[in-house]
Structure 1
Amino acid sequence: MSYLLLRTLTKKQEVDSIIRDTIDKVLVLRFGRSPDQACLLLDDVLAKSAREVSKFASIALVDIDSEDIQVYIKYFDISLIPSTVFFFNAHHMKMDSGTADHTKWVGVFRQKQDFIDVVEAIFRGAMKGKLIVNCPLPPDRIPKYQLLYKDI
């Protein structure tokens, strides 16, 4: 239940505002459903890491069942949950983790340190002006998934 410490966003205006107002920190947005088992595992990792990354990152949860959020679901092509999207100074940060999709992290971080390492790598890259960074985790700790394409 430690995920209750994290802010949950249910309106497009809330997401717009947090993206726009988070300055000089990595913004971590977890898209998912709170009752989903995988989301609960990820939320636990995020909540346990929140204090340790608080100097260089902010974390928020986005409820994908909210009607108002659907514009972001379509924009980021959130078809698998949980999906985690990163921003820095209102710029979408991408990460090359060896998967087909660099725009988001799909799945659960296996341990707290994995999440901290990823956020720190994004922060360091963003401070150097990069919009895409390499994933610092070894390939065996990166979740594997199959991309599904609609209407093909």
Structure 2
Amino acid sequence: MSNVVDTLTKKKEVDSIIRDTIDKVLILRFGRSSDTVCLQLDDILAKSARDVSKFASIALVDIDSEDVQMYVKYFDITFIPSTIFFFNAHHMKMDSGTADHTKWIGAFHKKQDFIDVVEAIYRGAMKGKLIVTCPLPPEKIPKFQLLYKDV
């Protein structure tokens, strides 16, 4: 499969794609290409890239790259894959009924689920929102046992 989605391994590359992606949703997938769930997600991202290209750009960030650790720490990437959304250099959050609104954790069930999420983020961003509600039903949202102290 041809790699239609760039893989970023340098902080400078991540900085510039965040800064230079204007009036489009930027989707950054943090993970590693050797991980099975990352590969499932990458397949969906690659298949969706053309469909969302008018309003979104997708890039993969290799979390094993020494040079991007600042982002891994900043976004608290503990589960992979973790997908972060931006719009005009603003971090877009999404309320999907989980404890973490800052990122999407895990893969999407289907290509259409991913496209629906990106469209919702784009529409919200165009209205000036920094947080949007996830358009997917709860059963389509990956569940992770997040460990919090006595929540």
The TM-score, its normalising length taken from structure 2, stands at 0.96
Q: Match for residue 47 of structure 1? A: 46
Q: Match for residue 17 of structure 1? A: 16
- The AA in structure 1 aligned to 2:23 is D
Residue 29 (1) aligns with residue 21 (2): no
Aligned-partner Cα distance in 1 for 2:47–2:147? 31
Could you list the per-position Cα deviations for residues 74-95 of structure 1 after superposition, in whole angstroms to 9, with x for gaps in the alignment? 0000000000000000000000
Aligned-partner Cα distance in 1 for 2:52–2:4? 14
State the shift of 1:72 in Å.
0.4
Matched pairs, number: 149
- The AA in structure 1 aligned to 2:93 is K
Runs (4 or more) in structure 1 with deviation over 3 Å come to none
Residue 71 (1) aligns with residue 41 (2): no
Aligned-partner Cα distance in 1 for 2:7–2:39? 13
What is the aligned-residue identity percentage?
82
The TM-score, its normalising length taken from structure 1, stands at 0.96
Q: Match for residue 141 of structure 1? A: 140
State the shift of 1:148 in Å.
3.5
- The AA in structure 1 aligned to 2:132 is V
Q: Match for residue 111 of structure 1? A: 110
Aligned-partner Cα distance in 2 for 1:148–1:20? 33
Superposed CA RMSD: 1.1
- The AA in structure 2 aligned to 1:73 is V
SS in 1 for 2:14: helix
Could you list the per-position Cα deviations for residues 32-51 of structure 1 after superposition, in whole angstroms to 9, with x for gaps in the alignment? 00011000000000000000
Aligned-partner Cα distance in 1 for 2:5–2:79? 21
Q: Match for residue 94 of structure 2? A: 95
